[in-house]
Structure 1
Amino acid sequence: MRVVLIHGVATDSRVWAATIAALGPAVEVHAPDRPQSGDMDTEIAALAPLCEGAFAVGVSGGATLGLEMAARGVGFAGALLHEPAAGSLAPGLLDDVARAFRSEGVAGFGRTLYGPSWTTDLTAAAHETVAGEFAMFRGFEPRPVGPLADRITLTVGQHSPPARHRSVRDLGAALGLEWRVLAGTGHAAHLEAPDRLARWVRRRSGADLGSYCLPPFP
């Protein structure tokens, strides 16, 4: 099973280093550097060919892109999407991030969104790049994902604030998606709990069994 790791705003493929190591050499892993164009069509066009037939994993903006690809009919084998944007289902969800970005730029954005495990070494994005991406994700509105719904699991970090838990719960209810709590982490699951995230990905993708399956979560 091919696994594709999709990064969010103010990060790039380096954010997945610990997760890739935890997944191990037996798993075919791709962690592309997105264009970070601020244009949804451009981002989807870059990711869709790689994600077709693969197991997609996204955190934050990467999870949001996973939802949008599903809505556009990209044929995932499965997807694990951690704390995507929820549009009008969760108004104000990113207001604190917006305030930090206005006052402290990229450093404030990343620290507020991802927490202390994020550092400026995890991104080369300029202020303008982050601004464009942030606007794109704040304008996102979730849409039905059709027959792919039974292949997608949403997750929320155990230590994430109540607003995040509500957003994932409401998004799951609106789109008919399974959702679960990922223990031992907050928003930045790939930085805070890469071993646990990798274990979930291996189980959900069927990597441990050599074929795709959907065993129950712990």
Structure 2
Amino acid sequence: MPRTRVLLVHGAATTARIWDPVTELLRADELDVVAPDRASSGDLAVELAALADDAAGAIVVGVSGGATLGLALAASDRMLAAAVLHEPAVGSLVPGLLDHVVAGYAADGVPGFGAALYGPSWDPTMAPADPGAVGRDLAMFRRFEPSAPSPGQGRVLVTVGELSPPARHQAAWALHDRLGVEVRVLPATGHFVQHDNPGALVEAIRSVL
């Protein structure tokens, strides 16, 4: 019997390496884990096309920008087994959600961006080698507007960190109210869950298996 595939989608200022702790836990569950390095092209259609084949029939898991791409995949004609999406962008549902990240990038480039978005446990070695990738991702995610999951789509679970600021909680519940997705608060973590508390994210993934 084929193993369940889990597609892990990283966000801006990180690479697929950021998933290593999550990957180790999921492979212990005998899941087929796929964690590609994104091109960070700045073009949403290009990013979704690159993920589409691996996403079909898979549990799509994303954090931050990766969650934003997962939300877009759930709204597409690509049928997912499920999605677990931690703190995606929500466009005009919560204006200003990314303002502090924009300010960090304007003040100090990639280091300022990473510190503002992920907090003190992020460091510049986690970013992609191409510094332009972060700027392209930021522009793309600032343009994003969420849409409802496609009819017949698998479960879509949006998570938010217990320690995240109020705007992140507002964003998660706005997606629930407008788009009908499920919401769960993950304990003892903020935005950078796959690094700071991977076990909490894995428990959420297990809940949709």
Identify the match of residue 91 of structure 1 among 88, 95, 98: 95
Instruction: Tell whether the 8 Å contact from 2:11 to 2:63 is kept in structure 1 after alignment.
Output: yes
Tell me the equivalent position of 1:195. 199
Tell me the equivalent position of 2:110. 106
Tell me the equivalent position of 2:49. 45
Task: Name the aligned partner's letter for residue 129 of structure 1.
Answer: A
Instruction: Tell whether the 8 Å contact from 2:149 to 2:179 is kept in structure 1 after alignment.
Output: yes
Tell me the equivalent position of 1:135. 139
Other structure's SS at 2:151 match: helix
Task: Name the aligned partner's letter for residue 9 of structure 2.
Answer: I
Other structure's SS at 1:146 match: coil
Identify the match of residue 9 of structure 2 among 6, 9, 23: 6
Q: How is 1:10-49 mapped onto 2 (pairs within 5 angstroms)?
A: 10-25=13-28, 26-49=30-53
CA distance in 2, matches of 1:146, 1:41: 17
Other structure's SS at 2:173 match: helix
State the identity %.
48
Q: How is 1:130-209 mapped onto 2 (pairs within 5 angstroms)?
A: 130-148=134-152, 151-205=155-209
CA distance in 2, matches of 1:125, 1:148: 39
Tell me the equivalent position of 1:209. none
Other structure's SS at 1:3 match: strand
Identify the match of residue 72 of structure 1 among 63, 70, 76: 76
CA distance in 1, matches of 2:154, 2:49: 23
CA distance in 1, matches of 2:182, 2:159: 9
Q: 1:195 to 1:155 in 2, by over 3 A?
A: same
CA distance in 2, matches of 1:20, 1:150: 22
Deviation at 1:127, TM superposition (A): 3.2
Task: Name the aligned partner's letter for residue 15 of structure 1.
Answer: I
Other structure's SS at 1:147 match: coil
1:19-51: CA deviation from partner (whole Å, max 9, x where unpaired): 111223412111011111010011001001100
Unaligned runs of 5+ in 1: 206-218
Tell me the equivalent position of 1:208. none
Instruction: Tell whether the 8 Å contact from 1:106 to 1:126 is kept in structure 2 after alignment.
Output: no
Deviation at 1:148, TM superposition (A): 4.7
Task: Name the aligned partner's letter for residue 17 of structure 1.
Answer: D
Unaligned runs of 5+ in 2: none
CA distance in 2, matches of 1:179, 1:97: 23
Instruction: Tell whether the 8 Å contact from 2:155 to 2:208 is kept in structure 1 after alignment.
Output: no
Instruction: Tell whether the 8 Å contact from 1:149 to 1:177 is kept in structure 2 after alignment.
Output: no
Which stretches of structure 1, 4 residues or longer, exceed 6 Å deviation after superposition? Answer: none
What is the TM-score with the length of structure 1 in the denominator? 0.90
CA distance in 2, matches of 1:153, 1:70: 11
Instruction: Tell whether the 8 Å contact from 2:83 to 2:154 is kept in structure 1 after alignment.
Output: no
Tell me the equivalent position of 1:212. none
What is the TM-score with the length of structure 2 in the denominator? 0.94
